[in-house]
Amino acid sequence: MTAIALEVTHIAKQFGGLVALRDVSFRVREGEVMGLIGPNGAGKSTLFEIVSGNLTPSSGRVAFFGRDCTGDPAHLRRRAGLCRTFQKVRLFESMTVAENIAVSARQCVKPGLDWRVEVDAILRRLRLEPQADRMPAEITLADRKKVEIGRAVAGFCRVLMLDESLSGLTHEEAEEMIGEILALNHDTGITVIVVEHVLSVLAAMVKRLVVLNNATVIADGTPNEIAHDPVVIAAYLGTKASVLR
Ligand SMILES: Nc1ncnc2c1ncn2[C@@H]1O[C@H](COP(=O)(O)OP(=O)(O)O)[C@@H](O)[C@H]1O
Ligand SMILES: [Mg+2]
């Protein structure tokens, strides 16, 4: 039996009178690549904030490989291998690409391992070697997003949560990014949760999708099931064709 890497159970979050998440539950199996989709404002980023420990849920729990981590601070979750990127890329603009990854590698590398070896391995894996000595302002958005992924996985990573890593990219850049993410999953076994708001981008990439709408989970299934789900179609206010586009 494959382990459950991540389980969120009855998560709710309110910001004053605004309900950002209501009774959200799902599981992600170890090694899975799962898509989390939903229109803007559905609550996707808020869910990532709660899972990574940057926000405390109003109620509900988060379990990481069977262990309740709801009360753990973010840096302990990161050390345990629960890793994420941010929707708005956050890099140290006064440091090179390699230095940005090094900050994270130094903090998170397992005792006894050399963080410099880790930085080189990540630069190679994400094909960022030509950009290693460049400043973030000098590289493309796609490469900036890759640096963020590099920072997220540096040291030790078991679950990687990507918040709109594909958005804003050209078709070719998105295809390349999907290839890098799937290779990372295939080669290292890292479990991946990809947040996007466009279904068609994810449909070709993942075998399973969870759909968030209006603060709650409205569907959980294969991309084909999701694309034909009347509740999902209604949520996207369109026809089957417009959901898939
Ligand atoms: N820190 C916050 N304070 C108040 N409201 C917030 C905060 N963060 C998110 N929200 C609100 O919660 C809802 C969900 O936002 P978000 O999780 O960013 O959605 P998504 O990532 O799916 O676009 C939105 O209505 C947003 O305005
Ligand atoms: Mg978001």
Residue among 13, 14, 18 whose CB has most ligand 1 atoms within 8 A, to mutate: 18
Same domain, 60 and 101: no
> Which residues lie below 8 Å from residue 46, measured CB to CB, with a gap of 6+?
13, 20, 21, 55
SS3 of 38, please?
coil
> Which residues lie below 8 Å from residue 12, measured CB to CB, with a gap of 6+?
19, 21, 22, 23, 24, 57, 58, 59, 60
Same domain, 102 and 213: no
On whether residue 87 sits in a domain, the answer given is no
SS3 of 176, please?
helix
* Residue labelled with tokens 């078991």: 158
Distance of alpha carbon 82 from alpha carbon 84, whole angstroms? 7
More confident residue, 199 or 8: 8
37 Cβ below 6 A of ligand 1:
no
Domain count, the chain: 2
CA nearest ligand 1 atom 27, residue: 41
What integer is the mean pLDDT of 192-205?
Answer: 87
SS3 of 155, please?
coil
43 Cβ below 6 A of ligand 1:
yes
CA nearest ligand 1 atom 3, residue: 15
CA nearest ligand 1 atom 24, residue: 41
Of 63, 58, 73, nearest to 215 by C-alpha is 58
Residue 245: the pLDDT is 47
CA of 66 to the centre of ligand 1 (A): 28
Percentage of the residues of the chain whose pLDDT score is greater than 70: 96
Segments forming the whole domain that contains residue 119: 92-155
15 Cβ below 6 A of ligand 1:
yes
Same domain, 164 and 229: yes
Two tokens, residue 149: 């992924």
Under DSSP, the state recorded for 236 is T
CA of 200 to the centre of ligand 1 (A): 23
Same domain, 149 and 182: no
Q: Are 163 and 86 in contact (CB under 8 A)?
A: yes
45 Cβ below 6 A of ligand 1:
yes
CA of 210 to the centre of ligand 2 (A): 15
C-alpha distances in Å from residue 121, one per residue of 97, 117, 195, 242: 13, 6, 25, 41
Q: How confident is the model at residue 237 (pLDDT cuts 50, 70, 90)?
A: low
Question: Three-class SS string for 61-109?
Answer: EEEECCEECCCCCHHHHHHCCEEECCCCCCCCCCCCHHHHHHHHHHHHC
Strand partners, 204: none
38 Cβ below 6 A of ligand 1:
yes
Distance of CA 83 to the CA centre of its chain: 8
SS3 of 159, please?
strand
Indicate the residue among 139, 155, 171 that finishes a domain: 155
Same domain, 189 and 75: yes
Same domain, 193 and 72: yes
pLDDT in tens, 127-160: 999 999 999 999 999 999 999 999 999 999 999 9
Residue 238: the pLDDT is 55
Indicate the residue among 155, 171, 188 that finishes a domain: 155
Same domain, 34 and 99: no
CA of 114 to the centre of ligand 2 (A): 34
Residue 239: the pLDDT is 47
Same domain, 71 and 173: yes
Distance of alpha carbon 39 from alpha carbon 244, whole angstroms? 14
**pTM over 0.85, yes/no:** yes
Query: Which atom, in ligand 1's list, is nearest to the CA of 215?
Result: 14
Percentage of the residues of the chain whose pLDDT score is greater than 90: 84
Strand partners, 83: 160
